[in-house]
Amino acid sequence: MNPLLRDLHTKFDSIPFDEIKTEHFLPALKEAIDSSKKEIESIKSSSESPGFNNTIERLERADSKLNWIAGIIFNLNSANTNDALQEVAKESSSILASYSNDILLDQELFEKIEEVYKNTDFSTLNAEEKTLLEKTYKSFVRNGAKLSPEDKSQLREIDQELSQLTVTFGENVMKDAQGFSFEIEEEEKLEGIPASALEAAAQLAESQGKKGSWVFTLDYPSYIPFVTYAKDRLLRKKMYLAFAKRGFNGNDFDNREVVKKIASLRKKRALLLGYSSHAAFVLEERMAKSAEKVEVFLSELKEYAYPVAKKELKELEEFAKKEDGIDQLERWDVAFYIEKLKQKTFNFDEEELRPYFQLENVIKGVFEVAKKLYNLSFDKLDDISVYHEDVDVYEVKEEGKHVGLLYLDFFPRKGKKDGAWMTVFRNQKIENEDNVRPHISVVCNFTKPTKTKPSLLTFNEVLTLFHEFGHALHGLLANSTYSSLSGTSVLWDFVELPSQIMENWAYEKECLDLFAKHYEDGGAIPMELIQKIRQAATFFSGYYNLRQISFGMLDLAWHSALVTGGEDVEAFEKKALTNVDLLPPVENVTMSCAFSHIFYGGYSAGYYSYKWAEILEADAFESFKEAGIFDTQVASKLKSEILSAGGNEHPSIIYKRFKGKDPSMDAFLKREGLVEGKGHEV
């Protein structure tokens, strides 16, 4: 029998990856859809008067199996894909778009939901039930339930095309990036590149039958050290251009037309639903509430960051000219000279940190932080099936009680998309009085072990692990009744709070002392290095903040009312970034064609969320700074009011319950060294 359809007899009902074959996915998906539709038909045909339990709650639970199967397909397509699975993902995306439309545009079903919404006494519902009812009703209305039959048909066509285009975008970025490699045979051209990166490049070359040379790729552990440390400016330029041209090479993986079609179809869809733009549609259901408020938010942040960034880059230009006679600082120079200036300013090279950040120790470190804050323990399991040999699985417990499963997948490989993310294989929910515990996965692309060294992380990779682990805690500590409100199922500009607040611990001595041990002799990281980490934390903060602000502005531009679909991608991007770009333009490159967050992931009209949540987390972490970074009372409140609460209530309510007041920009602006706090509210 299809392992995706039979009852699970695995430990903790874990996914039997070792039994699942690509040909199992589509039949299982289709059978799960048929089962969901039968349940929905039963809801519609019921002679009972529509109410919360027999309509809203039943609808919530109708597609549990379907969501589980779909999650496996798309998670594997991101983490361990191949040509056959990519075709399955495309077809699945199309099938699921049709299914979603069938439900959301079902007039008879909507009438029952509307009847419940209009006739229910909300005072009889608890907070989570109120949220589910409102969310269900709004979801139908916002996705076409009140459209005419002709408009519903048009919406179906748009959703079908979008379902294919977004998958194609992600595939194109991955294939274009993985199609590039750069072999260097002359050792003198490698000057400046850290030994760890060189060893990995030599090992990759040897695996390709190119012994005696070095091969670099666009995977982050290869690309970042190259553009940060390689002294050869022309080679830095070559690597930068290859990275910046992903999806923009005029080949089979070119995303220009895909970007334009996605943006124009999203706008067309929004107009059909009565909104002025895709951004207006999306932001109606965010903390920010409107595109206008996001524009004001980003503009206000820009006012703080821009003058600081301008001053920083002027200093960098002068430094590059003095050091190497560089008359015009280019984009492929920035990371190199920032690192060089940082070394000079703080007498500090971040490569000095690597020996203290062995991956296994950092993992133990985040586990220890979770133990101190939330009394969690992590036991490695060897009897759980995984989708790749690089993946490890842990059982998470709280005081001996099962909390969930955590899958960790850390190294780049063919068929794995770049970047880092947390995802869910099974959401937490309470059903038939059983608290079904979550299965969470963290996927990254970290520096791989070599023949002579274990995986030694950069400090940025340490921050990434803490960040994604924060998302994982949000999923693991979930305690909601309904899956659609559980864990990270919160408003999108709130979802980064639990992840970004975790990064703060990585800067604290009390935390670093737990795991930052030299991989050879076990010696603790010196206090001098910890001080330098903290000093360098806001080095060029104006520049980096402005860069993030620019990404948010580009995202808003692509999803504004001004998009026509006929844009020249490169020209459109340059115009969108005119007021935030301090570096000379580079011809024939774009960010848009590889901007997976907004054209493949879930961040369309929502990239600003990173800065929005950063202000929330800086404000929230003040409570730990005041009480102690491992204060269990503050941690308990963060857990109960935010991490466990999921989307049960509006984020503004649960944040205020945690903090006791509305958030402000004060802590963020102070921390980033942009300006003294002046009571700015979010």
CA 224 to chain centre: 19
Q: Which residues lie closer than 8 Å to 482 by C-beta, 6 or more apart?
A: 57, 60, 128, 132, 429
Write down the pLDDT at residue 153: 97
Are the C-beta atoms of 65 and 32 separated by less than 8 Å? yes
Q: Which of 351, 468, 496, 508 is catalytic?
A: 468
Q: Is 39 a catalytic residue?
A: no
Mean pLDDT (whole number) for 224-243: 97
Q: For 642, how many CA atoms within 13 A lie in the half-sphere containing its CB?
A: 29
The pTM score is 0.94
Tokens at 601, concatenated: 């992931």
CA angle, residues 360, 363, 368, in degrees to nearest 5: 125
Name residue 412's amino acid: P
Are the C-beta atoms of 357 and 444 separated by less than 8 Å? no
Mean pLDDT (whole number) for 471-492: 97
Cα–Cα distance between 131 and 58 in angstroms, integer?
Answer: 15
Segment 70-99, tens digit of pLDDT: 999 999 999 999 999 999 999 999 999 999
Position of tokens 């077809």?
A: 91
The DSSP line for 533-586 is HHHHTTTTHHHHHHHHHHHHHHHHHHTSTT--S---HHHHHHHHTTTT--S---
Fold of 354-487: Collagenase (Catalytic Domain) (3.40.390)
CA angle, residues 171, 214, 225, in degrees to nearest 5: 70
Tokens at 68, concatenated: 């589980």
Mean pLDDT (whole number) for 433-442: 97
Residue 646 has pLDDT above 90, yes or no: yes
- For CATH 1.20.1050.40, the residue range(s) in the chain are 11-104+106-146
Q: Binning pLDDT at 50, 70 and 90, where does residue 183 land?
A: very high
Cα–Cα distance between 42 and 225 in angstroms, integer?
Answer: 58
11-104+106-146 carries CATH number 1.10.287.1080: no
Task: Tell me the percentage of the chain whose pLDDT exceeds 90.
Answer: 97
Write down the pLDDT at residue 675: 79
Residue 15 has pLDDT above 60, yes or no: yes
Mean pLDDT (whole number) for 504-511: 97
Segment 563-619, tens digit of pLDDT: 998 999 999 999 999 999 999 999 999 999 999 999 998 899 999 999 999 999 999
Mean pLDDT (whole number) for 11-30: 97
Segment 147-164, tens digit of pLDDT: 999 999 999 999 999 999
Mean pLDDT (whole number) for 515-528: 96
Q: Binning pLDDT at 50, 70 and 90, where does residue 680 land?
A: very low
Write down the pLDDT at residue 676: 52
Residue 452 has pLDDT above 80, yes or no: yes
Are the C-beta atoms of 195 and 141 separated by less than 8 Å? no
Q: Which residues lie closer than 8 Å to 63 by C-beta, 6 or more apart?
A: 32, 36
Cα–Cα distance between 560 and 378 in angstroms, integer?
Answer: 45
Cα–Cα distance between 205 and 202 in angstroms, integer?
Answer: 5
- For CATH 3.40.390.10, the residue range(s) in the chain are 354-487
Average pLDDT, the chain: 96
Cα–Cα distance between 451 and 439 in angstroms, integer?
Answer: 33
Count how many residues are written for the chain. Answer: 682
Q: Binning pLDDT at 50, 70 and 90, where does residue 200 land?
A: very high
Segment 359-369, tens digit of pLDDT: 999 999 999 99
Q: Exposure string (b/e) for 83-119, b if CB count within 10 Å is 16 or more?
A: eebbebbbbbbbbbbebbbebbbbeebbebbbebbee
Largest CA distance in the chain: 82
Cα–Cα distance between 540 and 593 in angstroms, integer?
Answer: 27
Are the C-beta atoms of 464 and 413 separated by less than 8 Å? no
Residue 374 has pLDDT above 60, yes or no: yes
Cα–Cα distance between 316 and 311 in angstroms, integer?
Answer: 9
Mean pLDDT (whole number) for 428-435: 96
